């Protein structure tokens, strides 16, 4: 209401905006603030930023559930019990004393699930048939380009199109998502079906390409002539 918009570019910008309002209002009411300070009591023993701590077991789907939101975790943790430290804006997962992973805490009003395809893609590659009815399937398209590739593969290869797409997604997880996405775009713009073999071939060709830079060796005598001029 004060700034006419709630569209902040980052949490830092929002916090800075709030602090400016607090400082402005406190400076305008310094006399009232002094009265309040005299009546302040000791702070509570629990710190404001102290996390809520929960023990959670990773499901067979490689997920955990916190505050009505489902989060994916690396599939190697299936069946393990983790200790979740839930902060105001982040979640830290520990196994024993070891920090396993950290992720942003999502408001349940904004999303019901946060699925990172890198956490579960290895299992889906081994069992591609599970992808068709996978509950969080829509989370496994990192960008619209990947979605278009999947639709194209399913249309051309109705039997093994899903398997090919999962192999492409696995390639993006273990290599570079941006490079795989660029390869898909190049192939589709050329009206070529983005199969896993075509993408690998394109990435291999790109990695083999080398820029040759020729550097002329300086002629030492030219420097001698400069010294003669200085002398």
Q: Which residues pair with 63 in a beta bridge?
A: 72
Q: What is the pLDDT along the chain (231 residues), one digit of tens a residue?
A: 888 888 899 999 999 999 999 888 877 777 777 888 888 888 777 666 788 999 999 998 899 999 899 999 998 899 999 999 999 889 999 998 999 989 999 988 888 999 999 999 988 999 898 898 888 899 999 999 999 999 999 999 998 999 999 999 999 999 899 999 999 999 999 999 999 999 999 988 876 655 566 677 777 777 777 777 665
Is the separation of the CB atoms in 88 and 49 below 8 Å? Answer: yes
**How far is it, in rounded angstroms, from Cα 81 to Cα 64?**
10
Quote the strand ranges of the chain, DSSP E. Answer: 52-57, 63-66, 69-72, 81-86, 90-95, 98-104, 113-114
> Shortest CA distance to 185 belongs to which of 151, 146, 155, 152?
146
């Amino acid at each position: 209401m004060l700034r006419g918009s709630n569209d902040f570019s980052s949490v830092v910008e929002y916090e800075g905006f709030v602090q400016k309002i607090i400082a402005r209002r406190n400076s305008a009411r310094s006399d009232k603030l002094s009265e309040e300070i005299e009546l302040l009591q000791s702070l509570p023993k629990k710190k404001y930023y102290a996390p809520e701590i929960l023990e959670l077991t990773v499901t067979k789907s490689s997920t955990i559930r916190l505050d009505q939101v489902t989060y994916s975790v690396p599939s190697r943790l299936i069946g393990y019990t983790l200790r979740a430290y839930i902060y105001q804006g982040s979640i830290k997962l520990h196994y024993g004393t070891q920090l396993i992973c950290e992720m942003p805490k999502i408001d349940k009003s904004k999303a019901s699930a946060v699925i990172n395809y890198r956490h579960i893609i290895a299992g889906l590659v081994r069992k591609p048939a599970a992808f068709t009815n996978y509950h969080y399937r829509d989370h496994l398209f990192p960008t619209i380009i990947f979605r278009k590739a999947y639709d194209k593969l399913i249309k051309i290869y109705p039997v093994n199109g899903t398997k090919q797409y999962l192999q492409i997604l696995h390639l993006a997880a273990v290599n570079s998502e941006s490079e795989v996405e660029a390869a898909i775009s190049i192939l589709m713009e050329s009206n070529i079906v983005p199969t896993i073999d075509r993408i690998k071939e394109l990435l291999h060709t790109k990695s083999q390409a080398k820029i040759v830079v020729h550097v002329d060796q300086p002629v030492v005598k030219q420097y001698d002539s400069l010294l003669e001029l200085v002398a």
